[in-house]
Amino acid sequence: MIFLDANYIVSYYIESEDHHKRALEIAKHFKDKKRIISKSIIAETVNILNTKLKIDKKIIKATYEKIYNDFKILEDHYYYDKAVDKIVNDKKRLPFFDTLYIVLMEDLGITEIATFDKHFNNIEGIKRIH
């Protein structure tokens, strides 16, 4: 299993993104693995496409639909309390959603994340694929 971060998904689907070619290359390495995302990843992805990149709204809708067809999607609100506890008790100050994904991955035994986000460097038990 491999967890896919929002910035990876954006780069994978949006050809104009800087990491698009790299995202396609990375995808070849885990094509036989179960690809996991969470509902929050979808929310982050849509937010990036809509407000940061200002992608055409038809492309946003098409990407949203592709995401639902291409990946196993987990409900992650069950992990919110654990994520907040980790934020409060950890020395590092990571964004909430990154912490949420770490907690989710730890709980499910997922050890790899496809991401271009450097926040996932040096997280014990998690290998960043980039």
Contacts of residue 53, Cβ cutoff 8 Å, sequence gap at least 6: 10, 14, 17
Q: Considering the chain, what is the average pLDDT of its residues?
A: 96
Minimal CA–CA distance to 123: which of 105, 107, 69, 108? 105
Domain ranges of the chain: 2-129
38-92: pLDDT as tens digits: 999 999 999 999 999 999 999 999 999 999 999 999 999 999 999 999 999 999 8
Question: What is the C-alpha separation between 59 and 14, in angstroms, rounded?
Answer: 9
Pick the CATH number of 2-129 from 3.10.640.10, 3.40.50.1010, 3.10.129.10, 3.40.190.100: 3.40.50.1010
pLDDT at residue 40, as a whole number = 98
Residue 31 has pLDDT above 90, yes or no: no
Question: What is the C-alpha separation between 40 and 7, in angstroms, rounded?
Answer: 12
CA dihedral angle for residue 31, residue 98, residue 121, residue 106, rounded to 10 degrees: -70
pTM score of the predicted model: 0.94
Minimal CA–CA distance to 17: which of 55, 51, 47, 46? 55
